[in-house]
Structure 1
Amino acid sequence: MEPVPIRVINLDRATARLDFMARQLGGLGLAFERRRAVETADIAPDLERRINHRWERPLSGPELGCLLSHVAIWREVAAGTGPVLVLEDDAVLSCRLPEALAALSRLDAEMVNIETFGRRRFVARRSVAVGEGLWVRQTRRDKSGSAAYLLWPAGARRLLASFEARGAAPADAFLFTCPGLRLFQVEPALAIQAHLFAALTGRAAGVDGATMIHQPRARLPVSRANLPFLARRIAAQVRLLAHHAARLGPATYRRTPVEAADFPDQSRS
């Protein structure tokens, strides 16, 4: 079986992060290719006008750049024949990743999320074993984390069609709200974003996890101009009711387990 291709999204100025990813993946015996992340200055004004202002709030320049970086890889995956692992450059990786990729790549899926954000998500109550101590659950609803996922060509084509129809949203929210996407969550987690790593494992991540995207944002004020955003936000909250109701049957609302021992001590790298 051919190894799963790996793409790492990385800003030109983030050389320390690229070195961090190279050390991790090299230590796991995994080859990767870097893909340059889209900067705010790269985004043409006419493109920004076309895709922004269609979600629950306007997106910042770094958020748009992040999404467009993923979109570029989706186009690459859509033109291929097999799954590709997409990583952002702050993903701390489990030592189980190589064996897990081989097992996960055989799934009948369109996308498998391999990270945890430390938050609960709506997933199927029933899990499916895909390897020794490795399970997947079909994801019903989530919106946190775009740093590590396995994407198939069919899933990439579905995401691209949704992008053309819906415009921009934060990358993680976009991934997990794509209509019809056959999406799964792996358990235990195989990746954790650097800014969450210490809280979830009790150890240092080995790289600075701070980004502009994680900066606090003020709540949108209620005004006539903001009514479309607020209406979309309310509609999203209403849709949550159906997911909560599903907890009486096939769904559960749970955090993805983390096995801290699966993650090497990055502070010694």
Structure 2
Amino acid sequence: MKALILNLADQTERMALQRAQMAHFALDFERIEAVTPATLSRPTGDPYWMRWQRPMRDTEKAVLESHQRAWQFVVETGEPHLILEDDALLAEGAAELLASVEKSAAIDHLTLEARGRKKLLGAQLDELPVRRLYQDRTGAAAYVLWPSGAEKLLAHTAHAGALADAAICSAYSLRSYQADPALAIQIDRCEIYGVTAPFVVTSTIDVERKPDRLAGLAWHQRAGFRLRRFAAQLRMGLRQLANAHRASRIAVPVASNWPEFRSPDFR
């Protein structure tokens, strides 16, 4: 299975890390030029960006469009791909899992990642180390996407923007699964999970200050954001109730064996 790596042109150290990581796991890859606020396909003031639960930062808009580029690539190639943000680390066993699920017709989306939050998980699939994922809340750094799932995500985000991970987590038409144990984390979680970080990272999203919550908006815009926030929370609650008989909220453990990459190894 080929990996698609989302990478900004100026993040050369991150890309060098990913090249080393792909070589370690013997994975073919293609670099996807990540979108920046300056290269957004829609203007930052387009109504598309005003239809989420709060005002979005321009950097958040760019992240969504970067993922949409990868989704479109998956649709066009007709093959499942591992989609990685350039600060994602993979555990030993990741390549073997990718090989075991590549031909599966039962999955649209498989997340490899954990970020500490509990997830609503159901049964294991065909003795594979993956479980049905009914509700996630965060994380878009490392996931496998099949063409069927890519089509669903492109349709889901066709008329309204969202944070990339929120868009994925709220696409309930996806047949989503979770690697168990998790086989990917972002570098900013290394200390929490006891994994050696290759270098210190600064979020490319957080370089832009989050907009003051609803400040300066017209009353109907404020009302729209609040209603969409309420509707999203209600959908999640109903989702949990509907699947309570077959799923449980679980903190997914992470794998115990992680390759170490240090700057001299990949510079």
Structure-2-length-normalised TM-score: 0.89
Q: What is the CA-CA distance between 1:205 and the residue it aligns to? A: 1.5
2:224 pairs with 1:232: no
Q: What is the CA-CA distance between 1:240 and the residue it aligns to? A: 2.8
Residue pair 1:162, 1:179 contacting (<8 A) in 2 also: no
Q: What is the CA-CA distance between 1:220 and the residue it aligns to? A: 2.0
Q: What is the match of residue 259 of structure 2?
A: 264
User: 1:188 & 1:104 partners in 2: Cα distance?
Assistant: 15
User: 2:177 & 2:69 partners in 1: Cα distance?
Assistant: 22
- Rate the CA distance shift 1:87–1:120 in 2: closer, same or farther, 3 A: same
- Rate the CA distance shift 1:118–1:6 in 2: closer, same or farther, 3 A: same
Q: What is the match of residue 172 of structure 1?
A: 165
- Rate the CA distance shift 1:47–1:154 in 2: closer, same or farther, 3 A: farther
User: 1:61 & 1:218 partners in 2: Cα distance?
Assistant: 10
Letter in 1 for 2:13: A
Q: What is the CA-CA distance between 1:209 and the residue it aligns to? A: 2.8
Structure-1-length-normalised TM-score: 0.89
User: 1:180 & 1:12 partners in 2: Cα distance?
Assistant: 34
Q: What is the match of residue 78 of structure 1?
A: 75
Deviations 1:163-203 (A, max 9, x none): 213x1100000011114111111111111011112111x23
- Rate the CA distance shift 1:48–1:219 in 2: closer, same or farther, 3 A: closer
User: 2:202 & 2:185 partners in 1: Cα distance?
Assistant: 14
Q: What is the match of residue 15 of structure 2?
A: 18
User: 1:128 & 1:100 partners in 2: Cα distance?
Assistant: 12
Q: Percent identity?
A: 31
Q: What is the match of residue 117 of structure 2?
A: 119
Query: Please, which of 221, 228, 253 is the counterpart of residue 249 of structure 2?
Result: 253
2:4 pairs with 1:7: yes
What does residue range 130-209 of structure 1 map to in structure 2 within 5 Å?
130-131=127-128, 135-165=129-159, 167-200=160-193, 202-209=194-201
Greater shift, 6-15 or 138-147, is seen at: 138-147
Letter in 1 for 2:260: D
Return 5+ residue gaps in structure 2 as ranges. none
User: 1:109 & 1:231 partners in 2: Cα distance?
Assistant: 32
User: 1:234 & 1:81 partners in 2: Cα distance?
Assistant: 36
User: 2:41 & 2:259 partners in 1: Cα distance?
Assistant: 41
User: 1:170 & 1:243 partners in 2: Cα distance?
Assistant: 20
Q: What's the C-alpha RMSD, in Å, of the aligned pairs?
A: 2.1
Residue pair 1:20, 1:207 contacting (<8 A) in 2 also: no
Query: Please, which of 185, 198, 203 is the counterpart of residue 211 of structure 1?
Result: 203
Letter in 2 for 1:238: L
Greater shift, 233-242 or 31-40, is seen at: 233-242
Q: What is the match of residue 54 of structure 2?
A: 57
SS of alignment partner, residue 154 of structure 2: helix
SS of alignment partner, residue 69 of structure 1: helix
Q: What is the CA-CA distance between 1:204 and the residue it aligns to? A: 2.8
Residue pair 1:83, 1:150 contacting (<8 A) in 2 also: yes
Matched residue count: 259
Letter in 2 for 1:163: T
Q: What is the match of residue 35 of structure 1?
A: 32
SS of alignment partner, residue 109 of structure 1: coil
Letter in 2 for 1:15: T
Residue pair 1:197, 1:205 contacting (<8 A) in 2 also: yes
Residue pair 1:136, 1:184 contacting (<8 A) in 2 also: yes
Return 5+ residue gaps in structure 1 as ranges. none
Q: What is the CA-CA distance between 1:129 and the residue it aligns to? A: 4.9
